[in-house]
Amino acid sequence: MKRFTPTFLTLVLAVSTFAQSPARNPRLSDSFANSTGALDVIVKYKSDPSDSSQDPHHQRVTARGGSYKATHHIINSASYRLNASQLADLANDPDVEFVSPDRRVSSLASVLTDGEGLPASGSSSSFSSMSKTSSSSSSSSSSSSSSTAPVIDYFRETVHSDSATSAGWDGTGIGVAIIDSGIAVNKDFRKAVVYSQSFIPGDSSTADAYGHGTHVAGIIIGTGYNSWSKAKYQFGGSAPGVSLINLRVLDANGNGNDSGVISAIQQAIALKNTYNIKVINLSLGRPPASSYVSDPLCQAVEAAWKAGITVVVAAGNEGRNNSAGNLGYGTVLAPGNDPYVITIGAMKSMGTTSRNDDLIASYSSKGPTLIDHVVKPDLVSPGNLVISIAVPGSTLANSYPANVVPTSVYSYTGSSNPPNSYMLLSGTSMATPVASGAVALLLEKFPTLTPDQVKAKLMKTASKSFPTSSGVTDPSTGIVYTSYYDIFTVGAGYLDTGAALSNYDNASGSALSPTVSWNSSTGTATLNVTGTNVIWGTNVIWGTNVIWGTNVLLTGSNVIWGTNVIWGTATTAGLNVIWGTTATAASSVIWGTNATAAQ
């Protein structure tokens, strides 16, 4: 709901510039440059510290005037509050591997009154024209506007999750950890939340004061109970049989910290066998300020992945962010920048169940990732204008009453359906649980799949039929945002749950998202693949032409690398969009050699 500050450009320039300083401490994050006063930090050690405050690791921090907060065993780390003047001395401790800031994370949802959400008026009367359309008579177009886009998203039908229901799959037996702002009690949940815990210091409540986590949960497990009786519309999720594990890390304003998220991930791993936790949903993020190799949040999601939990992460809503002069490229947030996890961008269903007219949301963050140049997102799924469970009295419901669905929309006059049961939100926050629901369905049918096999299967079966480009106009500014359907915008394609459930190929090996490099002298880009990568390697079980096809990847004038899209002279900035020498900060912004090694 908020733009992140400082800008991505500022962050990367800070990383790049400070990395060149001869005084740089390799064990200390560059983000601490010029910091003063008390700071929240995460310290990674060479050996795992204990939970006891008497542990020597913690005592060495308290001896420097710091205070111990929590131990993060999954990454051999602990979080503290410590004065900035003591950081250099702490970093010189021989048992310290790296010291990072305990950075702030935020939810990734928006009310979007800027051409891709509610009309600019924000009037609740916008819902009055909602009509359930079984298919679209229009074909893919190059533009859309708020005046014609219906206010509804049929995500279940769009990704063919409804076919799972008809086949008897609903996610039963699968535990999904929602690491978010909490989950409110609601009759739309078939099952009660099986476990709840807060990781917000000083606030033990696991209820949803913000209203985001419940909306996310409803996209996965909502039954539509509150819109069932004499309903005109039923708003439910794609996997209503799953068990929810509620791990609250975001406060009433939708904000939290790395340490809280890491503690929640650690608890999900600890409870894995108790509740058969197979999926973690992270509809939150922050700008990457270091390589994923040293980022404690990224290392935590990797630990969950390696423990057998499929981690699904929002890409971010920064696709319109042109602060670095790159037209929104390079804006994927952490931990979605990690090559292990499944990173999700947002599509617009255009108010129909057909996929033929669907378009990318211009705000959906685009890769490649900053610093490491990882190809992201991995997939896209519906995330615009999604109606799910509202929390009456929450911050979102109170702040944006026009987004609360009127009772008249989902029940006949005089019915007993409760008011304020549903709310409309947009963002990659909403697209992520659509994918998490698909993962739960997949694991119910194929319980032995590893996270890598899940990722490979979803990417293989994703739809790869897109228009060349599309655009949307912000009615308040008149700015036209043009999106190109390249590898950094839509990844492997559009999630198709039905196709994934019908696929019986089980890959072996790694499904790490690859990095990409650009050769300015030859004007060519190369995917960097190492090891037995099941998605990008030449020995992939479904052949080299399936994931991207020979007409998509690294060939002549095609969509991704062609002369008319990213690299060519016909775009707004031509070759200078990402790689060019005249873009602000040029090579140091995304691809510079100094940024690559920065931490």
Residue 36 sits in a domain whose CATH number is 3.30.70.80
Q: What pLDDT sits at residue 417? A: 66
Residues 337 and 414 grouped into a single domain: yes
Residues 412 and 486 grouped into a single domain: yes
The set of long-range contacts for 473-478, using a CB threshold of 8 Å and a minimum separation of 24, is 473/115, 473/143, 473/145, 474/114, 474/115, 475/114, 475/115, 475/119, 475/120, 475/145, 475/146, 476/113, 476/114, 476/120, 477/114
Write down the H helix ranges in 352-413: 395-399, 407-410
The mean of the pLDDT values for the chain is 78
Pick left, alpha or beta for residue 416 (phi over 0 → left; psi -120 to 50 → alpha; otherwise beta).
alpha
User: Does residue 526 sit within a domain?
Assistant: no
According to DSSP, the residues that pair with 519 across neighbouring strands are: 524
Note if the bond before 451 is cis, omega within 30 degrees. no
User: Does residue 587 sit within a domain?
Assistant: no
Per-residue HEC secondary structure of 478-493 comes to CCEEEEECCHHHHCCC
User: Does residue 538 sit within a domain?
Assistant: no
pLDDT confidence bin for 519, thresholds 50/70/90: confident
Q: What pLDDT sits at residue 19? A: 36
Residues 164 and 63 grouped into a single domain: no
Residues 127 and 208 grouped into a single domain: yes
| pLDDT at residue 171 greater than cutoff 80 | yes
Q: What pLDDT sits at residue 120? A: 34
| pLDDT at residue 430 greater than cutoff 90 | yes
Of all residues in the chain, what percent are helix, strand and coil, respectively (each to 5)?
25, 20, 55
Q: What pLDDT sits at residue 118? A: 47
| pLDDT at residue 355 greater than cutoff 70 | yes
Are 319 and 328 within 8 A, CB to CB?
yes
Residues 93 and 126 grouped into a single domain: no
Q: What pLDDT sits at residue 489? A: 95
Q: What pLDDT sits at residue 412? A: 58
User: Does residue 175 sit within a domain?
Assistant: yes
| pLDDT at residue 408 greater than cutoff 90 | no
User: Does residue 193 sit within a domain?
Assistant: yes
| pLDDT at residue 228 greater than cutoff 50 | yes
User: Does residue 410 sit within a domain?
Assistant: yes
| pLDDT at residue 543 greater than cutoff 70 | no
Write down the H helix ranges in 406-465: 407-410, 428-445, 451-461
Q: Hunting for tokens 């929002």 — which residue is that? A: 314
Q: What total of structural domains would you count in the chain?
A: 2
Q: Which of 101, 116, 137 is where one domain is finished?
A: 101
DSSP state of 587: G
Q: How many helices (H) and strands (E) does the chain have?
A: 16, 22
Residues 413 and 321 grouped into a single domain: yes
Q: What pLDDT sits at residue 416? A: 64
Residues 93 and 160 grouped into a single domain: no
Q: What pLDDT sits at residue 215? A: 95
Residues comprising the chain, all counted: 599
Are 188 and 388 within 8 A, CB to CB?
no
- Strands, E assignment, 447-577: 469-473, 480-484, 515-519, 524-528
| pTM of this prediction exceeds 0.95 | no
Q: Minimum mean pLDDT among 48-62, 337-351, 438-452, 513-527: which range? A: 513-527
Q: What pLDDT sits at residue 402? A: 83
Q: Which of 481, 500, 519 is where one domain is finished?
A: 500
Are 491 and 380 within 8 A, CB to CB?
yes
Residues 96 and 115 grouped into a single domain: no
Residues 84 and 120 grouped into a single domain: no
pLDDT confidence bin for 114, thresholds 50/70/90: low
The residues assigned a catalytic role are 180, 212, 429
The token pair at 185 is 């009690």
Q: Average of pLDDT values for 559-576?
A: 30
Tell me the pLDDT tens digit for each residue of 240-292: 999 999 999 999 999 999 999 999 999 999 999 999 999 999 999 999 989 99
Spatial separation of the C-alpha atoms in residues 235 and 244, rounded to whole Å: 18
At 273, which CATH number? 3.40.50.200
Q: What pLDDT sits at residue 162? A: 78
| Percent of the chain predicted with pLDDT > 70 | 75
